[in-house]
């Protein structure tokens, strides 16, 4: 039996899984997904907060969800959201079971 090299699609799927894992660990307050269109092509990245935002948090500039074309763009916007939260005294850690 010979070992076969992974296909390009398998390698891409592995890289996407790694990106999702890193983003999820770095930003645990967000559910992060890769958008896949009905035809199977990748369509970008989507992050949604686990906790609902209060009116005061929205007024401070926090947003409930973010969509970007690539993982780097999503990561940059998530970092901006964390900075806004820190500047306004809101927690940014794992808030799946708690509120911001």
pLDDT score of 40? 74
pLDDT-derived band at 39, boundaries 50, 70, 90? confident
Cut 0.85: pTM above it: no
- Does the structure show a pLDDT above 90 at 83? yes
Structure tokens at 61: 């500039």
Over residues 29-41, the mean pLDDT reads: 88
Structure tokens at 77: 């916007």
> For the purposes of burial, counting CB atoms within 10 Å of the CB of 67, is it exposed (0-12), middle (13-18) or buried (19 or more)?
middle
Average per-residue pLDDT in the chain?
Answer: 88
Q: How far apart (Å, rounded) are the C-alpha atoms in residues 18 and 21?
A: 5
> For the purposes of burial, counting CB atoms within 10 Å of the CB of 73, is it exposed (0-12), middle (13-18) or buried (19 or more)?
middle
């Amino acid at each position: 039996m010979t070992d076969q090299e992974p296909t390009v699609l398998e390698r891409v799927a592995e890289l996407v899984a790694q990106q999702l894992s890193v983003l999820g660990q770095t930003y645990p307050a967000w559910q992060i997904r890769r958008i896949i269109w009905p035809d199977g092509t990748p369509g970008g990245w989507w992050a949604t907060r686990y906790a609902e935002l209060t009116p005061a948090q929205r007024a401070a500039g926090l947003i409930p969800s973010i969509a970007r074309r690539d993982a780097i763009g999503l990561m940059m916007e998530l970092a901006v959201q964390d900075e806004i939260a820190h500047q306004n005294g809101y927690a940014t850690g794992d808030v799946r079971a708690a509120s911001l």
